[in-house]
Each structure stands twice: as C-alpha cells, then as structure tokens.
Amino acid sequence: MSPFHLQTAGRGKMQIINYAAWIPTEKAPLEVGTAPYPDLGADEVIVKNRAVAVNPVDWKIQSWGGFGLKYPTVLGEDIAGEIVEVGKNVKALKKGDRVIAHALGMANGHAYGGFQLYPRLKAATVAKIPGGLKFTSAVVLPLSISTAAAGLYLKDNLGLEFPVLKKDVPQQIRDVDATTEPGAWTLVDVEKEKTKRPVLLLWGGSSSVGSSVIQLAVASGYDVFTTASPANYSYAKALGAALVLDYHNPDIVAILISLLKEHGAPVVGAYDSIGSETTVRQNAAVLHALGGGKIATVGAAPDGLPGDVKVGRIGSGNIVSQEGGVVAKKIWQEYVAAALEEESFKPAPDELVVGNGLYYVQGGLDRQKQGVSAKKVVVTL
Ligand SMILES: NC(=O)c1ccc[n+]([C@@H]2O[C@H](COP(=O)([O-])OP(=O)(O)OC[C@H]3O[C@@H](n4cnc5c(N)ncnc54)[C@H](OP(=O)(O)O)[C@@H]3O)[C@@H](O)[C@H]2O)c1
C-alpha cells in the first residue's frame, strides 16, 4: 500500500490517524500527508510526538540527495513526546511516559522517521525526561547525544571511559570540583588542581553535537579544551568546558599546541564536531605536535594527514549497530534519564521554535540550512 493512503491504528484501539511531513522523491520539498499508523516490534515503542528538532543532515539529504534512502520517506532524528504503545520486551518504559528519542529512520525506513505524529522507535535510543522539562527544550538532545556518544565511546572512534552520574562520583572528587564554578574555569584554574585530568580536544564546542560532547566528556572525567566564537565562550564554559578559544584566530593551531604542551596533562584524542577538511587538518596538526593520537570526526578524513594521527568517522547509529549496542545501553538506558533528573546533563543548546505543526518542518530545514549559532531549530506538534 502507498504510504500516502490514509490508515488508522489497528490492534483494537481507538482510531488514530497518523500524518507525516514526507519527502516524496529525492531533493523534493516536504509534503504533509497521511501516513500508516506504525506496526510495533517487541523492542520498540510508539510515541505521540510533541516536538521535533531539525538537524543539518535533514537539509543535506534534501539538498544533495544520496544517503541511500528509498522514497517516499520521512526524515527527522529528534523527537519528544508521550509513549502510546510499548513492545512486549520493553520493561523500562510504559504508556504515558514523557520521553525523548533518537529516531532511526535513515537506517530503518519511513515508519521510524521523526517528522510524523506517531513515529515508531527502537527503545534502545529512548529515554524518559523529568516531569518539569519541556518537550521543546528536551528535543534538542537526541541526535547530538548519540553522535557525541559514538565519537567518544566506540572503540573505532576514541574509546573513552563512560560517563558517571553525579550521585556516583566519590565525595572527595565532588569537593575538589565544588571549589571552582563550572562556568569560571580557566587554564590557571585547571593547573591549580592537584591531579590534572586527561584532556579532550573538541573542535566546535558551541555546536549542537559539541554541546553534548562537552557534557558527556566532563562526566567521563576529562577536561575539555574547545573552540567556538567569542560570543559563545560563556555558553561552552557553562556546559563544563575547561578552556574555550576562538577558532577564527589564524594562530589557533599554534596556540592550542603551546597551551596543551604547557598544561602537560595527557591528551586522549580530538573530537571534531564540525567535520570540514580544515577542521580535521587542524585537529591533526595539534595531535601530531603532541606526538600523535586519534581523531573522531563527523566528516571525512582527507588525504595526506600525518602518519601518527588516526581518523575515525563518526556514525550516530553505530551506537546501536556496533559492539553489541553497548554504547547505546550505557548512554541511553543507564545515563541520560538519570543525568537529566539530577540536572548534571542539561538540554543544550536553547531551542529556536519556528512554528507549530508538520507544515512548519520544511521552514525548519530552510532555517537550519542558513546556519545557527548555539541554537537548535525546533517545531512543536
Ligand atoms: N555523522 C553523524 O552521525 C552526524 C550526526 C550529527 C551531526 N553530524 C554533522 O555534524 C555537524 C555538526 O552538526 P550540529 O547539529 O552540531 O551543527 P550546528 O549546531 O548547526 O553547528 C553550528 C555551530 O557550528 C559552529 N562552527 C561552525 N564552524 C566552526 C568551526 N570552523 N570551528 C568551530 N566551530 C564551528 C558554530 O559555532 P559559533 O557559532 O560559536 O561560531 C555554531 O555554533 C554537521 O555537519 C552535521 O551534519 C553528523
């Protein structure tokens, strides 16, 4: 049956009509139309969607084509809403729970796309959110969490330590951290610490992905040295970055090399959340000067990098498909809901709501394509 045919919920429930913002063919504008009410797998949930966020990949697919998709399909990775149905193997979630989810439509087809009223979701990338947290604030997180987690924790990427909840951090470490306001760290403050924490270099600390990288890496025990525009220094520091430098400075690579050498703590690798050829080369130049290391990048590895630098390309869906799904379990099942509840992980960046209803999703893609700075484009439903 064509997905454009009206279809309503079966399974003996009240009749529910689903709608989606379809991309009917490659590179076409989105069209709002009815969509099949989804089937439900044993390890899945169905959510009544309340808010979606827009990511660069959505307009990239629409503008560039490719990505191996079958059309018509439904784009969208970030959703927030209430669970309406729960598969029989899913024990940690129940009907009525308020959740965020990374919708895996690119790998699994249109029923799993985020830009619809009732997306079908793998429970592996669903987490409850606190009662007081608005859907519009929380929906900024899912893809950025998965992407940050893939780059930081998969062994083919940086393979770092998993994050620890604040309540599980030993008291003496909390006491040391409490002496410094999280938003007020400077290099000098870092050097005053008795034991220097290993450093993660992060390119793009004010991006959506970078915002989750900072928070996860800090909770994993690393100091984050990052880059952003000066207007976003306080933003990145408030998320926990130890040091923020302006990537527009033509001497940025030399400055980072000198600061990291002077600081002296081991550098565990670089996370490139921008993924341009320039940013991969900049990260590579810093690591090479420090003796080599690994880069996890959202982009591709250009030719001619120093031999002592290894580059791994990040795929957000790999947290489910690789290493037996352990990264998805550690982050989505064991960390996200609890960290949001204890407020050690914050929804960031702030949402930029561009409208209410599926008809506004195309405008959301257009707005994201224009570029944002420490903001996430959101449509309420
Ligand atoms: N492979 C995957 O699975 C995956 C998943 C998600 C995203 N991605 C990709 O990752 C990239 C980032 O996505 P996003 O949603 O985080 O983007 P975003 O939030 O829209 O990125 C905007 C931010 O990028 C920063 N920025 C731009 N150029 C920079 C540079 N040269 N150095 C440092 N910061 C720079 C800007 O910082 P200032 O405003 O401070 O200047 C701005 O805050 C996109 O290319 C996206 O397609 C890949």
Report helix, strand or coil for 290. coil
Condensed to tens digits (0 to 9), the pLDDT of residues 299-324 reads 999 999 999 999 999 999 999 999 99
Q: Tell me how crowded residue 129 is: count the other CB atoms within 10 A of its CB.
A: 22
158 CA to middle of ligand 1, Å?
19
Q: Which two tokens stand for residue 7?
A: 């279809």
Q: Tell me how crowded residue 372 is: count the other CB atoms within 10 A of its CB.
A: 17
| pLDDT score for 169 | 81
H or E, element range at 277: helix 277-289
Condensed to tens digits (0 to 9), the pLDDT of residues 269-297 reads 999 999 999 999 999 999 999 999 999 99
Fill in the DSSP letter of residue 124. Answer: G
275 CA to middle of ligand 1, Å?
8
Q: Cα–Cα–Cα angle for 218, 221, 227, nearest 5°?
A: 40
Probe ligand 1: pick from 57, 62, 67, 207, max atoms within 8 Å of CB?
A: 207
Closest ligand 1 atom, residue 232 Cα: 40
**What residue ranges define each of the domains in the chain, with the CATH number in brackets?**
18-141+347-380 (3.90.180.10), 147-320 (3.40.50.720)
Q: Which two tokens stand for residue 10?
A: 């079966």
Beta strands 199-203 and 223-228, pairing class: parallel
208 CA to middle of ligand 1, Å?
6
H or E, element range at 48: strand 44-53
Q: Which residues on neighbouring strands pair with residue 48, listed in sequence order?
A: 82
- Which residues have CB under 6 Å of ligand 1? 55-57, 143, 147, 203-204, 206-209, 227-229, 232, 247, 273-275, 279, 298, 314-316, 372-374
Positions in the chain whose pLDDT score sits under 50: 1-8, 178-191
Report whether 139 contacts 51 (CB < 8 A). Answer: yes
Report whether 280 contacts 305 (CB < 8 A). Answer: yes
Question: 148 CB contacts (<8 Å, ≥6 apart)?
Answer: 209, 212, 213, 215, 216, 271, 273
Question: Helix (H) and strand (E) counts for the chain?
Answer: 14, 16
Report whether 278 contacts 247 (CB < 8 A). Answer: no
By the 10 Å C-beta count (0-12 exposed, 13-18 middle, 19+ buried), 262 is classed as: exposed
